[in-house]
């Protein structure tokens, strides 16, 4: 069981800044994120795109902002449960919470801060009849253990980096790999595209374009696929696995069953401290809604800061708190480091 003061669900910019603000008030944080790395959308969707409205940064790449936020909060030693989705929560008699992930990891905290952005990123599924029937029975959206595909035949669909990368990776271990894409052009790193072309020329992979999978067949498990080529010719091919890689789309997912008040696909909060209808659970950043809400990173930072004040009072009942300026009191990390402003040197003119 992982124990912490504030359990943050979502390791995007707002979640990461919460670690810093909480740290200033001596509260420890642990973050859960469905993605494999921190940074949320900024890291997953647009790391190379510039953001122009972060105060003090005329222009900063989303990926750089994440790096800076990680750097800014590192002395408060946040814990991370990455690649797992927060699924269930239980409120104990003492008012604390247990949150478990889809992989069964349990977390115990007095405060939950949901900073989940647009929700957890889940694979986009193609529209195919009987698709559900073959899920985990030949159809996989995520490759967790590539060895599962050893000496098997695999059909991958998609035109982005993950389709290309997995085609290259699996070419070495599978009996056969077929990459199917609706266009002749691929949207991926140039060297990945070149590598796939090289593998195709060496007959190590089959590439079928422009084409799409239109039907799945098989009794117990997936056995065959129908591919429509050039919007005309239909062809059946035998396969052990079908891996559609059409990117990720955010879903509120299990959070929508926590009993939180939901409006417009977001969690309703009180703007006093961004607490939800469940005392002790806060929602900050893009995932919350209130009158006048703006889904901006800078608003998430503000919400995180105010939220920490209330969290402190819940964790330290009876203790009074006064706002401190970091310039005056410095930043004392949990790792023993201390940052502080240099004292001005005063020297007499007559000396």
Partner 1 sequence: MDDISISIKDRKGKIHSVSAPTDMAMNLMELVRSYEIEEEGTIGTCGGMAMCASCQCYILSSHKIKEMEDDEEAMLSEAFFVKDNSRLSCQISITKDLDGLEFEIAPPS
The binding site for partner 1 (CB under 8 A) comprises: 41, 45-46, 49, 118, 124, 126-127, 158-160, 181-183, 185, 187, 246-247, 249-250, 252, 264-266, 289
- Identify which of residues 43 and 308 has a Cβ nearer to partner 1 in the complex: 43
CB of 66 to partner 1, least distance (A): 16
For residue 59, with 0-12 CB atoms within 10 Å meaning exposed, 13-18 middle and 19 or more buried, which class applies? Answer: exposed
Helix axes 297-315, 13-24, angle to 10 degrees: 40
Phi and psi angles of residue 168, each rounded to the nearest 5 degrees, phi first: -65, -45
DSSP β-bridge partners for residue 96: none
Closer Cβ to partner 1, 283 or 315, answer by number:
283
Whole-number minimum distance, CB 183 to partner 1, in Å? 4
Closest CB 105 distance from partner 1, rounded Å: 27
- State the nearest-atom distance from the C-beta of 250 to partner 1, in Å: 6
Identity of the residue, 264 or 319, whose beta carbon is nearer to partner 1 in the bound complex: 264
Measured CA to CA, the distance from residue 238 to residue 226 in angstroms comes to 9
CB distance 225 to 216 below 8 Å: yes
Please, what is the minimum distance in Å from the beta carbon of residue 49 to partner 1? Answer: 7
Question: Whose Cβ is closer to partner 1: residue 140's or residue 162's?
Answer: 162
- Using the minimum distance from each CB to partner 1, give the nearer residue, 79 or 160: 160
Nearer to partner 1, 50 or 279 (CB): 50
Q: Shortest distance, CB of residue 129 to partner 1, whole angstroms?
A: 13
Residue recorded with tokens 């035949």: 153
Closer residue to partner 1 (CB): 49 or 90? 49
CA angle centred on 297, ends 293 and 301, rounded to 5°: 90
Shortest spacing between CB 320 and partner 1, in angstroms: 39
Taking the least distance from each CB to partner 1, the nearer of 159 and 280 is: 159
- The verdict on whether omega for the bond into residue 301 sits within 30 degrees of 0, i.e. cis, is no
For residue 341, the minimal CB distance to partner 1 (Å) is 37
C-beta of residue 306 within 8 angstroms of C-beta of residue 273: yes
Maximum Cα interatomic distance, the chain, rounded to a whole number of Å: 97
Q: How far is CA 327 from the centre of its chain?
A: 32
H-state helical runs in the chain: 13-24, 40-44, 62-73, 131-134, 161-171, 190-201, 297-315, 326-329
- Residue 246 Cα to chain centre, angstroms: 17
- Report the alpha-carbon distance of residue 113 to residue 312 in Å, rounded: 13
């Amino acid at each position: 069981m992982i124990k912490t003061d504030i359990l943050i669900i979502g390791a995007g910019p707002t979640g990461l800044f919460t670690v810093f603000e909480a740290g200033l008030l001596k509260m420890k944080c642990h973050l859960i994120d469905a993605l494999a790395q921190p940074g949320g959308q900024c890291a997953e969707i647009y790391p190379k795109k510039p953001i122009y409205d972060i105060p003090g940064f005329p222009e900063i790449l989303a990926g750089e902002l994440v790096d800076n936020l990680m750097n800014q909060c590192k002395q408060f030693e946040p814990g991370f449960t990455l690649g797992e989705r927060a699924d269930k929560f239980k409120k104990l008699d003492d008012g604390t919470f247990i949150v478990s992930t889809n992989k069964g990891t349990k977390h115990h905290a007095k405060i939950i801060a949901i900073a989940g952005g647009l929700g957890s990123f889940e694979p986009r599924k193609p529209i195919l009849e009987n698709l559900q029937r073959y899920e985990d029975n030949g159809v996989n959206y995520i490759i967790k253990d590539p060895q599962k595909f050893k000496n098997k035949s695999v059909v991958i669909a998609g035109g982005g980096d993950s389709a290309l990368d997995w085609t290259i990776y699996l070419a070495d271990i599978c009996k056969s790999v077929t990459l199917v894409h609706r266009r002749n052009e691929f949207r991926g790193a140039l060297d990945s595209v070149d590598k796939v072309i090289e593998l195709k020329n060496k007959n190590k992979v089959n590439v079928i374009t422009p084409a799409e999978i239109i039907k799945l067949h098989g009794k117990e498990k997936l056995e065959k696929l129908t591919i429509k080529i050039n919007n005309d010719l239909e062809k059946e091919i035998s396969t052990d696995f079908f891996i559609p890689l059409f990117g990720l789309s955010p879903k509120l997912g299990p959070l929508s069953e926590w009993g939180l008040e939901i409006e417009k696909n977001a969690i309703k909060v009180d703007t006093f401290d961004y607490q939800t209808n469940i005392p002790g659970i806060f929602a900050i950043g893009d995932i919350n809604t209130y009158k006048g809400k703006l889904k901006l990173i800078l608003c998430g930072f503000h919400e995180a800061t105010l939220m920490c004040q209330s969290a402190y009072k819940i964790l330290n009942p009876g203790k009074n708190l006064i706002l401190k300026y970091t310039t005056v009191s410095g930043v004392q990390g949990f790792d023993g480091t201390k940052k502080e402003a240099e004292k001005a040197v005063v020297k007499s003119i007559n000396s």
